[in-house]
């Protein structure tokens, strides 16, 4: 007789596209398997490259000598990077746990309290 497991499978959007540009998904139990670690690594690289590209874009935009061809090339790379970053955000957002009613940060008047970076809730 098989013992029931307490693992819960979830679907993860992967940071690459499949055939015809269709999204790729991984059915995972969040135990850090090979494809999960590979996807985490690729997401990290994509976010790092996006940050570097943004710095480079700022330099090109501020340089009056930058020509139209360079700006078109930059626009294409920024578009690719934005697509990657949005996919990472969608994937990570889908994996966030749903808050319990007890865990809500709502004030008694129904408004939400915003926190600044590094600030902790009371």
Has residue 122 been placed in a domain?
Answer: no
86 and 54 in a common domain: yes
52 and 20 in a common domain: no
DSSP 74: H
- For tokens 């578009």, what's the residue? 79
Cα distances (angstroms) measured from residue 96 to each of 14, 79, 92: 15, 26, 7
Crossing angle between the packed helical segments 34-62 and 68-94, to the nearest 10 degrees: 150
Domain that holds residue 71: 46-94
Has residue 110 been placed in a domain?
Answer: no
Tell whether pTM > 0.75. Answer: no
Cα Rg for the chain, rounded, in angstroms?
Answer: 20
66 and 34 in a common domain: no
Please write the tens of the pLDDT for every residue from 39-94: 999 999 999 999 999 999 999 999 999 999 999 999 999 999 999 999 999 999 98
Helix (H, G, I), strand (E, B) or coil at 59: helix
Has residue 55 been placed in a domain?
Answer: yes
């Amino acid at each position: 007789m098989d013992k029931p497991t307490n693992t819960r499978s979830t679907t993860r959007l992967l940071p690459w596209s499949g055939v015809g540009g269709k999204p790729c998904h991984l059915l995972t139990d969040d135990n850090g398997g090979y494809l999960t670690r590979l996807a985490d690594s690729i997401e990290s690289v994509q976010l790092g490259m996006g940050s570097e590209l943004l710095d480079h874009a700022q330099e090109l935009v501020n340089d009056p000598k930058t020509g139209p061809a360079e700006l078109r090339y930059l626009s294409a790379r920024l578009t690719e990077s934005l697509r990657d970053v949005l996919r990472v955000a969608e994937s990570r957002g889908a994996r966030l746990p749903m808050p319990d009613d007890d865990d809500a940060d709502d004030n008694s008047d129904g408004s939400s309290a915003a926190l600044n970076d590094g600030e902790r809730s009371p």
